[in-house]
Amino acid sequence: MIVIKIIMNVIPGKHLEMMQTLLSMIEPTAKEAGCISYGIFCDIEDKNHFCLLQEWETREYLDHHIASHRFGILLGTKALLREPLEIQIHTVSHSEGIDAIHGARKKQTKMSPIDRQRNLIE
């Protein structure tokens, strides 16, 4: 799985324009071949900070999306930004679910208070 994270710091007063652009991209991008998920997040402390997270099945699907007109529109939002887009692409080779959480919590509760204290120090 490939995850792309895009951070956007929008010029004050351009928040609504950016939001409309991003919202118009959700449905069509989510329907693209290989798109697992597509989410837009807004910082609760600063409405001018957005984070776009996308998950893709393979790098090839992501590359096809990056070459698309729709991604070009995203790149074209630079006139709305205080600074250039921050883009990170992560290749995920392994992921875990809730079972990993349950396992870690069981381990923690089985530790003695002294072991737990040592874990906190390390």
Taking the whole predicted model, whether its pTM rises above 0.85 is answered as: no
- 60/47 Cα distance (integer angstroms): 33
Q: How many Cβ atoms are within 10 Å of 56's Cβ, its own excluded? A: 24
pLDDT on residue 96 = 85
β-bridge partners, 50? 8, 42
Chain segment 84-119, per-residue pLDDT in tens: 999 999 999 888 889 888 888 887 766 566 666 666
73 has pLDDT over 70 = yes
CATH architecture of 2-96: 2-Layer Sandwich (3.30)
Q: Furthest-apart CA pair in the chain: how many Å?
A: 58
pLDDT on residue 53 = 96
